[in-house]
Amino acid sequence: MTFRVMLVDRAGDGLALLARAAGEAGLVELRLDHVASVHEAVGRLVEEPTDVVFVGTPTDEGNREEAILRLVCTAPDCSVLPLPLSAWGGGEPQRDLALLVRTLGRLYRQRVDRRRLVHWATHDRLTGLANRWLFEDKLADAIARARRNGTTGALLFLDLDGFKAINDCFGHEAGDAVLRTTAERLRASLRACDTVARFGGDEFVVLLDSVSSLLTAQAVADKLRRRIAEPIALPHGTIAISCSLGMSLFPVEGEDPPLLLRQADRLMYRHKSGRRAVFAA
């Protein structure tokens, strides 16, 4: 994990001190940026998150307290701290260095723990895919973006056919292997801007952020079905599994995330016994 540190100081005198402290704290993946003014720092923080900001003597604020307050208001999740006096040759260099080492180490551990908790809260533990909570959040954003830009998005609801029989015949470890393989195949078949989630059991949902036409969305759906149907090697032998699929488009078929999910889910189950992909017109 890259730990991002920013120094706000007109001359950048504290860069060497911060780099040394980060090294002694064991921060291997460190990105250390320097800006001269609070105005520039605010612009950077708005565009890209930073883990900790050290404030020296910026060019555009009357004192450090005002600069720190403005930066805290801009990025409340970022730690904003004053730069020690030893950066300018004052204070007690050894004490300040030891304090910085402890501070950077503690902040790094806090960021690692926070990111781990956020990932656990928003992703499926078995497959690593987005969970329902994260998917619905991304779907709402995609609907708003499509409405604003005049584009079309697609929602695909997939359910594996006969998955219960795999668990019953080969055990839950084999079932878990099938779910992980399916997740990997879906992820590898989509664009970086698309989202795939596991809703639980053997249900997967795909968000195509922007598609040029219904035919394009159908082509992607067919591609996913073919990819899922490829044989899967298990310790007990090789199996093949199919999926049932339903699709809804937004915003032409609605702008309410639960409604779109229910519609795609209903279309998927309507023809599940026939193992055919079903598309909403």
* Tens of pLDDT, residues 27-84: 989 999 999 999 999 999 998 989 999 998 887 766 788 889 999 999 998 999 998 7
Tell me the domains of the chain and their CATH numbers. Answer: 3-122 (3.40.50.2300), 132-279 (3.30.70.270)
> What is the model's pLDDT at position 91?
61
- Percent of all residues in the chain with a pLDDT value above 70, rounded to a whole number: 93
Helix (H), strand (E), coil (C) string for the chain: CCEEEEEECCCCCCHHHHHHHHHHCCCCCEEEEEECCHHHHHHHHHHCCCCEEEECCCCCCCCHHHHHHHHHHHCCCCEEEECCHHHHCCCCHHHHHHHHHHHHHHHHHHHHHHHHHHHHHHECCCCCCECHHHHHHHHHHHHHHHHHHCCEEEEEEEEECCHHHHHHHHCHHHHHHHHHHHHHHHHHCCCCCCEEEEEECCEEEEEEEEECCHHHHHHHHHHHHHHHCCCEEECCEEECCCEEEEEEEECCCCCCHHHHHHHHHHHHHHCHHHCCEEECC
- Single pTM value for the model: 0.74
> What is the model's pLDDT at position 218?
93
Q: pLDDT tens, 4-14? A: 999 999 888 78
Active site residues: 202
Q: pLDDT tens, 84-139? A: 765 555 567 788 889 899 999 999 999 999 889 999 999 999 999 999 999 999 99
Report which of residues 270 and 108 the model is more confident about: 108
Query: Does residue 180 register a pLDDT over 90?
Result: yes
